[in-house]
Each structure stands twice: as C-alpha cells, then as structure tokens.
Structure 1
C-alpha cells in the first residue's frame, strides 16, 4: 500500500467523491454568485443588525470606488487591521473588486509587528479600527517606513444597534485625520460601474502571515484557487445548507476564519454571526439569538464557550455541526465537550499554507484513538489531496511509523511572499513540508504526534509532549495542560508540565505527578508540574509551548 493509493478514501461516506472540481475560479466569483442568487439573504449578523449579500456588495463597491480614485489597482495590497467586524469582509471584497490582495493582520499586533507586516507586504492602503489606528497605526504610518498612502478607519460600533457593555463600555468613535471614514465612504456610494477584474485561480487573494515561531512571519500567498477549492471542501465535508448559520468563533484574520467562516458562508449562502472578538458570555448570547448550526474553532475556545456562566445544553443545541482545529484535542476533552454540546466535535487539521483543511474527520464519523499513543486522529486527507509521511531521508516510511507530513493538493499555497528561499525549502515543487510529525494507520487515518521542534530527548528517549498532555487531561481536575522539555544535568532534558485547573478544583503538583507516573513509562511522566491560572495562547486559542519553554530555559 502506498500513499498514492489513497487508502483513506474507504473512510469517505458513501457517495462522496474522491476528487472535486471547484465551481468557481475565484473568491470574488463565489461572492458575486451569492449576490446574484440570494441578494436579500442575510450574510452578516452583528449585535442585532443584519447585512444582506447585496448590502455587503454595495458597501464593498463604494469602498473599492474610493480606493480606485486614490490609485489602488490590480495586484495592490489592502491591509485589514480590524477585529471580527463586518468591515473585514467589506474590505476583503473591495480589494478583490479591484483585482487587489487583502493582507490579514492580527489586531493584537503592536507597532513593531505592524511595521514589519506593512513593509513586508508592500501594502499601499490600510483599513483599521479607529482605536487601533489612533494607538498603533498612525505612529507607524507617520514614521514613513511603509508604502501606505491611503488609510480608512472604521469603528467596532458601526453596523450594529447595541453597544454591549461587556465589550464596548469604553468604546467611542475616534476620528484621526487625514484618515477616511468607512461609513461615510459607504454612504457616498459608487462603484456600480467597476469593470470585472478578471480574477483567476492563480491570482493572489490574501496574504495570511504565519506565526513566526522560527523567525519573522512569512506571508503565505493564498490564491483564489486555494480559496474556492477549500470553501467547497467545507461545504461538502460539513453538509451545510443555505441559510444554516455559521458562528464566527475564529479570528477572521486567521486562515480558519478566512475560509471556514467567510468563504464557507459565501459559498453556502449562509449568515455569519460576528461578535467583534471572542468573549464567551457575549458569544453565548449570540448563539441564543441567532441559532447558528456550524462552527469551527480551537478546542480551547469551544471549552471556554461551554463553560460560560449560565451555558446549558439547550443554549448550545443549535450547533449541530462542530469542528475543531488549530490545536490538538485530547480524547477525554472531546468526550467531555460532547456531553455539554450534545454533538460530537470532529477534528480538522491544516495550516496557513494549506488554506485551512488538508485533513478532516467526515461528518457523522467518530475519529479513532490510537491504542498505543492515545492520540485522537486528525482525520483523513480531503478531496484531491495526498499526504505522505516521510523520514529524515525524505523517503516514505511504513504504515504506522512516525515521520513528517508532506502535503500535495489544490489547497497548498504556491509559496511565501518575496521569500523564494523559504518557498524552495518548505514547498519544493508544490509539496508542503509541514514540520508536523505523525503517522498514518492501516485504515488511512492520520495522527499528529507533535511539531518536530517540540520533541523532548530525555536520556536518549523520545518523548512527544502531546502524549503526556493527553494523559494529564484525563485527570478530572485538569482544565488545560502543556508539556515542554527543560534542561536537566543528568537526563539532558526532562519533562515539565504546566497545568491550569477546573474551577473549584484542588490538586497539588505531587498528586498529578503520581497520577501520570501510574499511566506511562518512567521516561515519559513529568518530573515537575507547575500549576498556573492560565496558559499562554495565540489569539486563535493554540497553547504556546514555546513561551513556557523559553521561561524555564
């Protein structure tokens, strides 16, 4: 059996094809088809207001017209420096309307980070939240280090009819000259006669920056072909139907939000529920109000949502299709959350460089747990995709053996923006070397063990943090766990765990060490445990092992 034989196809539901042909050549074509077929259908739901597909089209055309008047054209980059607001989608579509590229920027970025991203992308226009622009963006633009010539600001209070005090108690509209105002540009109208930019599958849609864990962030060049393919993957894999709402739990600047939220909503013609940023109680109220059917987010976010004060199974019952990606799921956590949501949480796996999913668990199928490592499968490769598992020599390893995932498929980006050496190293001939380590079992299920750099070498024994973490999660007092290698004079490295506890739980480090010692080999169990209030995370909810490792090394 070889990977090219695609043994995982036997895991596909009856009637699901091995390969698909994207219906659209570009993300803009996906959006235009939704406007033509369902102009009055709700597209964005945001604190009591709804924007239809035609509403968003008019707003994006007006913004595009204003940008065009100021010299923005084909291939130019528009940076989006906002939260999960309607402005993000309006800005992205406006850039596409002119044949331009959106640059997705983390709203948590500060001056140094924003300067780097604007310079690296060569963005000539910036759409920013007014408060972010006043505090961070304007000093960057005034420094003269970027090519940004046009700035448009928006407010988190725009396009809503309530200012929820849990998020907006101190929020006021801020005007910072000479920035333009998005609402005023939309009111001015225009853009009805913009020519078709003629976007095709190979044109760039979004520069989505990697996290930069091993150096400066790199701009993954997500194309319109990547977007249209994986939007269709989401639709077919989840079985979503028109009008079934999507909960925007992931940040829109992240590849999960871009594809699993925005593009999926456009293609399926479903409403996307936005709530500015992730605050569990606010999002719980949005679920109660709008009753979305589908979401995809980090398991930490799904856990926090289920633990929001007053949350009940009835509150969460509309979410019938649940997927989690971006961070591993411990089997015990998945079981606990299934009891709270009343729906099984399907694993999904991918990277910024794979435009969201390369693997997923088919809807209605329960992922197996590897009996040896205890790892929950991340699923099987999606349509048109082959994922090899290779050893250090670059050759395929045997079924069941651990190696690096190498992915080939229509969702793999063509490269990194202005970084030909990084592209040649990580994506030679279109094959993405993911840096993730795992294996495929004889039935075609894939399991991620860890990132290469996270492996711990304790007295010559390999210890994968994920396996230790999964054991720790089975203790009822443990809420979150992260395992890292720390220097040790005798063993070279030894295993250290950082743990946060469930509300009201009491547990000592020694008790948890003893618990782990009973369940794993002597070289694997943590020799030290530190109880903390919260573990450091990315904005998407992925636990940052590197920060913990750096703090003790």
Structure 2
C-alpha cells in the first residue's frame, strides 16, 4: 500500500488554503504557503542528487523552516533525522555518521557546532537558517534560501506505508543513542488517534513550545495540528514570559508540555495575561504531580489537564486520560485505540492488576517502531515476540489504567529530556583528575530530576565541583551536564566490580 505522511498537509491545504498553519514571532504561514514552500524544498533536495530513502538531518528549534524541511523531506521520499539544536560538534558527528545523513540543516546562532560536526562526519553539506541578528551564512555553508529556489512540482513521492519517514534518536537505556525508525503509517495513525483523544477542532490554536525534534512535539503537536487543520503558535524556547505572551496574543486553546512547564507557568502567571481561551493541557514526558494538576486547574478555571504516556519508539502516544470525567490523577491513562499494553514479570508473564504487582510495561500495536536504525541487536533486545519492552516499571489497576512507578534502568529525565548517565560518565572519565564516576538522577521539584555526578579523584589529583561542571558543560548539550558533583574517596563497588548506584541513591 502506498501512502506518504505529507498527504496530511496537502489535504488540509485543499480544505482551507488561506488559513494560518503557524504563527512565529512576526511571521504567519498559511497552509498554502507551507505546502508550496515545502514542495520547493523537496524539488531542491532531489536536484542535489538525493534519492528515495536518503537521510536529511535537521537541527532546528521551533521555526517555520522546520515545517518546510519536514514536509519537503517527506514529499521527496527521503527520511527526516531531527536533531537537538543543543548538541555539540562530536555529538552531531555521531548522529550524522550513524544515520548516514547526506545533508544537515542548522540554525545560524548554533552553526559553529553544526559545521564542526559535519566536518568530523566527512564534510556533509550544511544549509543554515538565518534568524534576526544572525543573518550571515558562516563560511563553508549554504543559505537555506537556496533550498527555496526550486520550483514546486506539486509531487508527493508514492512511498510505501511501512517505509521509514523519520529516524528519531533516543538515548534509551543502554549504549549510545539509537535511531528509532518511524514509518509513514505509524505517524499517521498516532496523530489521527491522538487528535481524536485531545478532541482537537479546526478552530484550535495549539501552543508549540515542545521541541519539534522530540517525538512529543513532532507527533502529538505538529502532526496533530496539520492532520486536523488547526493552527500552531511556535515558540523556539520555553521561557515563561514569551510563552504567556504568545498564548494571549494568539488565543491558544491547547497547551501541550512536560510537567516542568506546567509548574513554571503556574508560578509565573499573573492576571495581566488573558488566557481565557485555554481549555486543554496535555502533559507527558514524565509523571505530573497531582498537586500541580489541582493547582493549575484552580488557577485556570475551565482548563483540564490530561496526562498521557509514550516513547520515541511508540511514535508518541501509547496511553492517555481522555477526559476530566474519566481520568485518574496519577495515572498515565488507558491504552489508546489499536494499542495493547501489559505489565509483565522478568519471564514476560502478564501480571495481575494492583500496585503490589509491579513489572515492566510492554506494548504492541500500530504505533510500534519498525526497529532501531542499522541496529538489529538492539531491536531484538527491545522487541520480543512482537512486544516492545519500554524499560519502565509500573502496574495496572482493575479498570485498565496504568501507573509508572520507576524505570528499569538508570535513565534520568531532566525537564522532559532524556539523559543517559553512561554518556555523561564517559565524559567524566576523560577528565584528567577523575578515577571513577557514576551519574544518577536526584528528584527536583522544578525539573523532575537533576543530574548528579559522584566522582573519586586519582591519587594526588585535585579538582573542585565548578571545575568538573565546566569540563562537562564544554563537551555536551546543556541539558545533560551535571549540576551537582559529589566527591568520594571511592565509589561503592559490588562483587563483580560494578559501581553500586543503588547505594548512591540512599
């Protein structure tokens, strides 16, 4: 069966060509403009010699150009590889090399790291999107405008429904970041089902501050908006005042975010902002405290916060609380249409309901990834007998609602972003004064979790907390480096020589 996800844009363009698809600072693009400009990007990429199935990496914040790249890549029959704009050069190089990306699109203020990564990856061409104050194209790069010089043919490549549309990198719980292959059909089904659950309407305006390079923002915000013909208000970075200003200016009706965003807005809001249009808050990425839900809904009468759960590997939404009447605060909700969810023990046997029966949450259905890009071993480890093993520990109740209680591995979720401790530890071990290192998550009221490093120094070596933090900050994305460093004479070691992180958490 042939199907291309870009069809959702074309169909909504036919329905209302002049309607705003996105607002971004002082720019507004209609459905017609996004459809035509993304067609120009598609034609330009094919003119550069890219062929069906080639990968194009896009390292952009929430700007209109992200939409043009996304739908242009899909229309051309290529594969989108979204990257976090905060990645450092060597991190970018890893993603480019692992995915085999042919081109990188980056943002001017962060172009230096993009260029460094592209050069390390073998000299991949870099196209740079300018923003106010950063209009110059760095040496050795191309202006993004070159990709808009082609003529839109109106063509949408006849890809197969199970062809990979997006390779979305996730740290997961083991090894280096892995690319989850999400197909055209999976992403279409997720935005279709999610939009129905959210109750989205054509007159809705969704605030899009969740990063579009993340599965939550890409699948449950961008795709949902376009699938149902809504409008989105883009905000490149979460800061309370710009977010509140944007919500008021564009009369936003739906806000999707991670718990830390709800927490920040709750404390930053004053009556100076008119948010009376807001009716739904969708929370995901981490568990949202019941007290935050209660306080938020009390401060914003008429707003209901609905919590869901999903992963990069599941194209976003897997379970969801569908309404104020049917939700259970503290739960991630029930499995959505077409998805099966179970709690299993270590032998993959289904556990009975009840908080005393905690096991690993496993899922299968139309939303499950095709596999990890070029990594059959990791795919076989994660997907067994058709069930994807999430690594999250939880339980189900008698009504089929699921609850997350812990993570099976050591993944730290800081402000909605996944931080893999081993990646941080590998950087710590390159510090000339450090002999041993271990990274864990510490509960944090604002961010959910904070990254904490425990280190033991080499004999005779010296280093202080700020030195270690600065060392890490220079070598990794801003959300990853530890904000707290604790020094021990030696880290606790088990009989096999493994560092006992459990003891560090006590």
Taking structure 2 as the reference length, what is the TM-score of the superposition? 0.80
Greater shift in the superposed pair: 313-322 or 252-261:
313-322
Change in 2 beyond 3 A, CA 1:314/1:426: same
Preserved contact between residue 326 and residue 542 of structure 1 (Cα < 8 Å): no
Preserved contact between residue 84 and residue 276 of structure 1 (Cα < 8 Å): yes
Preserved contact between residue 309 and residue 317 of structure 2 (Cα < 8 Å): yes
Match of 1:488 in 2: none
Change in 2 beyond 3 A, CA 1:172/1:424: same
1:175 aligned residue (137, 161, 174): 137
Of Structure 1 and Structure 2, the greater strand share is in 2
Structure 1: tracts of 5 or more residues without a match: 1-21, 158-170, 370-375, 456-464, 467-483, 485-494, 503-535
Residue 301 of structure 1: CA displacement?
Answer: 1.0
Q: Secondary structure at the match of 1:307?
A: helix
2:343 aligned residue (376, 380, 389): 389
1:353 aligned residue (313, 316, 325): 313
Residue 248 of structure 1: CA displacement?
Answer: 0.5
RMSD: 3.1
Change in 2 beyond 3 A, CA 1:37/1:547: farther
Change in 2 beyond 3 A, CA 1:352/1:547: farther
Preserved contact between residue 106 and residue 253 of structure 1 (Cα < 8 Å): yes
Q: Give the distance between the partners of 1:278 and 1:234, measured in 2 at CA.
A: 23
Change in 2 beyond 3 A, CA 1:552/1:317: farther
Deviations 1:463-509 (A, max 9, x none): xx99xxxxxxxxxxxxxxxxx9xxxxxxxxxx99655589xxxxxxx
Q: Give the distance between the partners of 1:197 and 1:209, measured in 2 at CA.
A: 24
Structure 2: tracts of 5 or more residues without a match: 414-420, 422-439, 448-472, 487-500
Residue 151 of structure 1: CA displacement?
Answer: 2.4
2:91 aligned residue (113, 137, 149): 113
Match of 2:367 in 1: 411
Q: Give the distance between the partners of 1:31 and 1:426, measured in 2 at CA.
A: 33
Match of 2:153 in 1: 192
1:152 aligned residue (109, 116, 127): 127
Q: Secondary structure at the match of 2:56?
A: strand
Change in 2 beyond 3 A, CA 1:147/1:411: farther
Q: How does 1:81-480 map to 2 (within 5 A)?
A: 81-133=59-111, 135-143=112-120, 145-146=121-122, 148=124, 150-157=125-132, 171-186=133-148, 188-192=149-153, 195-308=155-268, 311-312=270-271, 315-342=274-301, 343-369=303-329, 376-400=330-354, 401-453=357-409
For this pair of structures, how many residues does the alignment match? 436
Taking structure 1 as the reference length, what is the TM-score of the superposition? 0.73
Preserved contact between residue 414 and residue 430 of structure 1 (Cα < 8 Å): no
Match of 1:77 in 2: 55
Q: Secondary structure at the match of 1:350?
A: strand
Residue 206 of structure 1: CA displacement?
Answer: 0.9
